[in-house]
Structure 1
Amino acid sequence: MKLYPLKFEPKYSYRIWGGEKLKTVLNKNYALDSIGESWEISDVEDNETLVCEGALEGKTLKNLIHEFKEEFLGKSVYQNFGDSFPLLIKFIDAKNPLSIQVHPSNELAKERHNSFGKNEMWYVMQAEEDAQLIVGFNQNVDRESYQLHLNDGTLLDILNIEKVDQGDTFYIPTGRVHAIGAGVLLAEIQQTSNITYRIYDYDRVDKKTGEKRELHTEMALDAIDFKHYPNYRSTYSIKEANVSNKLVHSPYFKTNIMHVTEEIIKDYSQIDSFIIYMCVEGALIVESENEAYPVNTGETLLIPACVEQIKVSGKSAKILEIYL
C-alpha cells in the first residue's frame, strides 16, 4: 500500500471558554456547544485522530508509523521520535478568555509526567475589535514578587498584553506565561503534549461540573520563566507570493507561510520530514500522483515524507507549511 497526502477527522473538545466559530467560520461539523478546540492531527492518548479518506481510512498516526516508519515521518524524525508523532495541530476558538497558564519544559515534563514539554506557536486567523493575548511579563519579576501579585489579585498588572489582528504570530516557549483572550480564532502548532499548568482562571465555574477548574499554582512556580523580554511578537513578511516565507523556526518545528496565487510545483526532496499544510485563508488544491486534494480554510493536510513533489494551486490562499 502506498502513502498519499492525508486528511484526518478532527477531534472536537468542549471548553469553558469555547464558542461557535469553528463551525460558523471554519465549517467544522459537530453538534455540541462551546467547542473551543479542533484537534486536527493528534497522537495524544485517547485523542488520536483517524485518517478520513482513501485506502488508509481509519488509521491512526501510530498505525501509520508502525507500517511505514521513515517513509511516513522522514528518516531523521523516525530516528529521533520512533513510534511517537512529534506534533499536535489545532484550531482554537476563544469566545471567552482562556486561563492564564504555563507549560513545563521538556525536562520538567519528562520528570513529572513522562511527556514532552509544550513549546507552541499561534497564528491569529481572526480577531474581533480590541482582541488581546497575554504573552509573558511586562517587567522583570522574581518568584517572590510574582507570588505577591498572584495572592493579592493583581497578577494582570505585571503581564504583557498584546492587542492582535489577523496574521499576528507568537512563539510561546515553555516557561512563558500566556493566555488567549476573548474573540480570537487561531491556528496552534505545538509539541505533542497535553500538559498545562493553570495559574489563574478568573474564578469561573464550569457549567458542566458546577465547580471551578483546578489550578496548578505550586507546580507552575518551577516552570515559569520570570524574565521580561523586549518583544514577544514574531516578525515576518510575505516578501513574495508562491514561495515559502519563514514564519517561526524553532528547535521543535519549523513553520513557513505561503501565499498561493497560481499553480506551483513544490519539491520537498531536500526536507527529511513529513509536511503539514494548514489552510488559514482561502482555498487550494494539492495534486499528487494524479489525485487532487482540496484544502479549504480551516482544513489540514499531511504530506508524508516519501511524497517528494506536489503541485499546489489556488487564487489567493494562505497556508502554514510545517515540518521538523
Structure 2
Amino acid sequence: MIEPLFLKPYFQPKIWGGRKLEKEFSYQLPTGDIGECWAISAHPHGPSVITNGELSGLSLAEAYQKYPEYFGNPKAKVFPLLTKILDAEASLSVQVHPDDNYAEKHEHELGKTECWYILKADPGSYLVYGHHAKTRQELSDWVYRGDWDKLLRKVPVKAGDFVYVPSGTIHALNKGIMALETQQSSDTTYRLYDYDRIDRVSGKKRELHLKQSIDVTTVPFREPELNIQTRHIASSKIISYLKPPISPFFAVWQWQINGETTLHHEISPYTLVSVIEGNGLIKINGKSYPLKKGQHFILPAQIVSWTLDGRMNLIASEAVEV
C-alpha cells in the first residue's frame, strides 16, 4: 500500500542558532546551538530518513535512487529540493548563492535559489535583501571597503511574510526570525560579511568568499515581482506564492485548512508538505494519518489526491521538472 513518506529531520548546529526549534516544534534536538532543521532533505550534508511504510529506514536520497516511481520517474539525477526550518538566534552572515551554471562549474552541485515563509519575527526584525550598487565595480569597491551601511538593503519583516530569494541575491536572515525555507538542494553559500564573529570550535573567524560573491551577485538588484494568488476550497484557503515562470525551480503554496479539503498534485508528480501550525488528519484511499505541527512528509506520485481535515496551516512545494 502506498502511503505518505513521513520524514525524520536532520539537525544542523550553527554559530547563529539556538534552542527554539525544541520549544516551537517539540523536536528532540542534539546538544548545542541548533540553527537548522533539514526537514525534507536528500542532500549528503543532512539527509532525512523515511520513518514509515515500505521504505521505512531509507534515507530520502536512497529512496529517490532505488524507487524512482514514487517520484514519477523524474529526469533529475538528484532529488532537487530541500525544505528547512531556520532559527536565527543571532544574525546569519550576509551571503549570496550561485546559479546552476556557476555552481556546477565551481562546486559540482546545484545552484541555490530559495524562498522564506516567515514563521516568527521579533518586533523590529529585518532582513538583508538586495543591495544598492549600480555597477559591479561599485559593488566590489563597497565590499572591499566594508561599506556595509551603504551597500546593503534592509527590509522589515513580520510573521506571515513570504520572500523569494533567487540565486545572485545578497541576503541574510537577522536575529529573532524563524523561517521555513524552500530551496534547491544545494549547500553552497558565499559569505560577504560575518560580523567578525569567532567560531567557538575553530577559534577563528569564519571564511569569507568575497571574489565568488562579487562574481555571482546580480547587479543591479531588482526585487522580484510576485503574483501571489488566493483561492478558496470549501472553508479552506489555498495561497499560491510561487509558480513558473517567476520561479523556474519550484512552486510553493500555503494550505490554510479549516475542515475537509481535497487536493492533488499541481505541477509535479509528487508534493513536499510541512505542518507549520495546528493538527488534523490526512485521508488517503480510505486510511487516515494523524498530522501535527512540526511534521514533514512527501506525497508520492502514486497518490493522486488526498483529503485534509482539521484546523492547520501547511506549506507545500513541488519541483519544476527541468
Do both share a fold (TM > 0.5)?
yes
CA–CA separation in structure 1 for the residues paired with 2:133 and 2:17: 32
Summarize the alignment of residues 91-240 of structure 1 with structure 2, pairs less than 5 Å apart. Answer: 91-137=85-131, 139-229=132-222, 231=223, 234=226, 236=228, 238-240=230-232
Structure 1 range deviating more: 23-32 or 9-18: 23-32
State the one-letter code of the partner of 2:124: D
SS at match of 2:149: helix
| Alignment partner of 1:321 is 2:316 | yes
| Alignment partner of 1:259 is 2:237 | no
Once the two structures are superposed, residues 247-294 of structure 1 have per-residue CA deviations (whole angstroms, 9 ceiling, x without a partner) of: 1121100011121001122233x6442111112222232122333333
| Alignment partner of 1:36 is 2:35 | yes
Structure 1 range deviating more: 275-284 or 96-105: 275-284
CA–CA separation in structure 1 for the residues paired with 2:285 and 2:229: 32
Residues 170, 233 of structure 1: 8 Å contact kept: no
The Cα of 1:96 is off from its aligned counterpart by: 0.5
Equivalent of 1:306 in 297, 302, 306:
302
Unaligned 5+ segments in structure 1 are none
Once the two structures are superposed, residues 56-113 of structure 1 have per-residue CA deviations (whole angstroms, 9 ceiling, x without a partner) of: 21112232223321x21124xx12x03x111011000001100000001100001111
* Residues 46 and 16 of structure 1: CA distance in aligned 2, closer, same or farther (over 3 Å): closer
Aligned length: 314
The Cα of 1:220 is off from its aligned counterpart by: 1.4
CA–CA separation in structure 1 for the residues paired with 2:99 and 2:267: 27
TM-score, structure 2 length as denominator? 0.92
Summarize the alignment of residues 53-72 of structure 1 with structure 2, pairs less than 5 Å apart. Answer: 53-69=52-68, 71-72=69-70
State the one-letter code of the partner of 2:95: Q
Equivalent of 2:72 in 50, 74, 77:
74
SS at match of 1:245: strand
Residues 279, 300 of structure 1: 8 Å contact kept: yes
Residues 281, 309 of structure 2: 8 Å contact kept: yes
CA–CA separation in structure 1 for the residues paired with 2:225 and 2:275: 21
Unaligned 5+ segments in structure 2 are none
CA–CA separation in structure 2 for the residues paired with 1:190 and 1:289: 31
1:9 corresponding residue in structure 2: 8
1:294 corresponding residue in structure 2: 290
Once the two structures are superposed, residues 18-64 of structure 1 have per-residue CA deviations (whole angstroms, 9 ceiling, x without a partner) of: 01111111211113121000001111124221112233211122322
Structure 1 range deviating more: 145-154 or 12-21: 145-154
Q: Equivalent pairs: percent with the same residue? A: 28
1:248 corresponding residue in structure 2: 242
CA–CA separation in structure 1 for the residues paired with 2:154 and 2:229: 23
SS at match of 2:141: helix
Residues 169, 221 of structure 2: 8 Å contact kept: no
Residues 170, 232 of structure 1: 8 Å contact kept: no
Residues 169, 235 of structure 1: 8 Å contact kept: no
2:47 corresponding residue in structure 1: 48
Once the two structures are superposed, residues 200-254 of structure 1 have per-residue CA deviations (whole angstroms, 9 ceiling, x without a partner) of: 000000112211111111111211112132x458563545352532111211000
The Cα of 1:199 is off from its aligned counterpart by: 0.7
SS at match of 2:216: coil
CA–CA separation in structure 2 for the residues paired with 1:18 and 1:55: 35
* Residues 149 and 34 of structure 1: CA distance in aligned 2, closer, same or farther (over 3 Å): same
CA–CA separation in structure 2 for the residues paired with 1:176 and 1:61: 29
State the one-letter code of the partner of 1:196: T
* Residues 271 and 151 of structure 1: CA distance in aligned 2, closer, same or farther (over 3 Å): closer
CA–CA separation in structure 1 for the residues paired with 2:107 and 2:285: 42
